[in-house]
Structure 1
Amino acid sequence: MGAVKGKRMPRAVREQQMMDAAVRVFGQRGYRAASMDEIAELAGVSKPLVYLYLNSKEELFTACIRREAAALVDAVRGGVTPGEPADRQLWAGLRAFFTHTAERPDAWAVLHSQARTHGEPFAAEIAVMREEIVAFVTLLIAEAAREAHDNPLLPEQDVAGLAEALVGAAEALAVWANAASGVTAKEAAATLMNFAWSGLGNLMDGKSWSPPSR
């Protein structure tokens, strides 16, 4: 049940309340099926007030994407302590990512499932978020190379490719973990860490796999 209608509160607080309701409805019902009536009811406000604050369903959805994308990036960055060994930084970032997506499944559905599938401008908002996370992971992998070698041998293109692969795997695993029963954020992070760090460790030691010549 929504909050009591008509209760006076600061505009910023009311707006966040509406967005909380919107994220829940968009995440559970999808962008197309979600209605402004349902969002207003869940938020405990009138539909005209939602339009007054956030103008349209499209702008409301965009605002939700931006808020939740920023929250996810902040969670990943905030989970990492600079100066720790590279593997611990990567582990902490993965745990923060999986913890956040597990605690906010509707927000993750908005970011991963809904925003990507409804075209511009929503897909562009997600691309910005993803680029920021990939750039952060790229720095972690580059730091790992620096720890392993005084003059790291991993080319920039390889580091960037590894970061893209790692982020893509994390996204897919978060969907699986949220759908599976009993999978914790720590277990999901450990699964990906074991998969990724074994390969990264070999690369740091100069043991790269090469395709057969024939």
Structure 2
Amino acid sequence: MLDAAVRVFGRRGYRAASMEEIAELAGVSKPLVYLYLNSKEDLFAACVRREAVALTAAVRAGAGDPEPDVPVDRRLWAGLTAFFAHTADNPDGWAVLHRQARTSGEPFAAEVAAMREEITGFVTSLIVTAAREAHQDPALTARDVAGLAHALVGAAESLADWANTTPDVTAREAARTLMRFAWSGLGTLVRDGGRGPRG
């Protein structure tokens, strides 16, 4: 039922989607849909929540657990590749998260914002850990790199939209594009521990 709902919401949008169409695609009766999920709003919220959890899990699994011998740029690369692979493999789910939920009201937008904060926090921790290890500087805080992490996540979201609508762009190509764009700044932070030029 949720698979059918994600497909309809992702392709038609929250407003235009109908419970009848979702029920028909799922092969169940409309009353059964209402029995499990009381309203169209509840069904959409369940879709947003499921897709957010799946995307976050894909990024974390891609980046892997911290290992002493694995440099942060390799973990970041793997996480980005997993992100782009997931959004490419689940275009309707990505549309639900990136386009529909953000513009369909506060409860849905809040779910997406929470997902984004979790991913941004994860990216922040990767960069902080790398910079601390490179400079043996335990005083470096998440705030020192939070802006870069937010910029990187925002760029990844925008690039996923481009990659998913541009023929023959692979997840690895999208990840490579973003790493080329971002790692000069992130690499500088890791190298100088955030003590570069101040504007």
TM-score range, shorter chain: over 0.9
Shift, 1:204, TM fit:
2.4
State yes or no: 1:208 paired with 2:199: no
- Contact 1:111 1:126 (C-alpha < 8 Å) held by counterparts: yes
- Contact 1:145 1:152 (C-alpha < 8 Å) held by counterparts: no
CA RMSD in angstroms comes to 1.4
Question: How far apart, in 2, do the equivalents of 1:152 and 1:86 lie?
Answer: 17
Alignment of 1:20-169 (within 5 A): 20-81=3-64, 82-83=66-67, 84-151=70-137, 154-169=140-155
Aligned residues: 194
Between 95-104 and 196-205, report the one with greater CA deviation. Answer: 196-205
Structure of greater Rg: 1
Per-residue CA distance 1:43-71 (angstroms, 9 max, x = gap): 00111110011111000000000001000
Question: How far apart, in 2, do the equivalents of 1:40 and 1:159 lie?
Answer: 46
Q: Which runs of 5+ in 2 are unaligned?
A: none
Question: How far apart, in 2, do the equivalents of 1:204 and 1:129 lie?
Answer: 26
Aligned to 1:193: 179
Question: How far apart, in 2, do the equivalents of 1:71 and 1:30 lie?
Answer: 20
Shift, 1:147, TM fit:
3.0
Shift, 1:208, TM fit:
3.3
Per-residue CA distance 1:103-153 (angstroms, 9 max, x = gap): 000000000000000112111111111111111011011012023211167
Aligned to 1:4: none
Greater helix proportion: 2
Question: How far apart, in 1, do the equivalents of 2:18 and 2:77 lie?
Answer: 39
Question: How far apart, in 2, do the equivalents of 1:41 and 1:170 lie?
Answer: 35
Identity of aligned residues (%): 72
Code of the residue aligned with 2:88 in structure 1: it is A
Aligned to 2:169: 183
Question: How far apart, in 2, do the equivalents of 1:121 and 1:70 lie?
Answer: 16
Given the two structures, how large is their TM-score scaled by the length of structure 1?
0.86
- Contact 2:131 2:191 (C-alpha < 8 Å) held by counterparts: no
Given the two structures, how large is their TM-score scaled by the length of structure 2?
0.93
- Contact 2:6 2:93 (C-alpha < 8 Å) held by counterparts: yes
Question: How far apart, in 1, do the equivalents of 2:25 and 2:125 lie?
Answer: 41
Q: Which runs of 5+ in 1 are unaligned?
A: 1-17
Shift, 1:182, TM fit:
1.1
